[in-house]
Structure 1
Amino acid sequence: MVELKELQSNEELEQVWEKSQQNPVLLFKHSTTCPISAGAFEQYQSFLESSEDNLDGYIVKVIETRDVSNQVAAETNIKHQSPQIFLIKDKEVLWHTSHSKITADSINRELKNA
Structure 2
Amino acid sequence: MNWISITSIDQLDQLTAESKTKPILIFKHSRSCSISKATLDRLERNWHLDGVKTYFLDLLTYRDVSNAIAKIFEVQHESPQVLIVDNGKSIYDRSHFDITFQDIKNKLQLVND
| TM-score, scaled to structure 2 | 0.91
C-alpha distance in structure 2 between counterparts of 1:23 and 1:45, whole Å: 21
C-alpha distance in structure 2 between counterparts of 1:20 and 1:47, whole Å: 23
Check if 1:39 corresponds to 2:43: no
1:38 deviates by 0.6
Q: Is the 8 A contact 1:9 1:65 kept in 2?
A: yes
Counterpart of 1:92 in structure 2 is 89
Q: Please point out which of 54, 58, 78 is paired with 1:57.
A: 54
Counterpart of 1:106 in structure 2 is 103
1:56 deviates by 0.8
1:3 deviates by 2.1
Which stretches of structure 1, 4 residues or longer, exceed 6 Å deviation after superposition? none
C-alpha distance in structure 2 between counterparts of 1:40 and 1:107, whole Å: 13
Distance 1:6 1:47, change over 3 A: farther
Q: Which runs of 5+ in 2 are unaligned?
A: none
> What is the Cα-based RMSD across aligned positions, in Å?
1.3
- Which one-letter code corresponds to 2:68 in the other structure? Q
Q: Which runs of 5+ in 1 are unaligned?
A: none
| TM-score, scaled to structure 1 | 0.90
1:71 deviates by 0.3
Residue identity over aligned pairs, in percent, reads 27
Q: Is the 8 A contact 2:31 2:37 kept in 1?
A: yes
Q: Is the 8 A contact 2:82 2:99 kept in 1?
A: yes
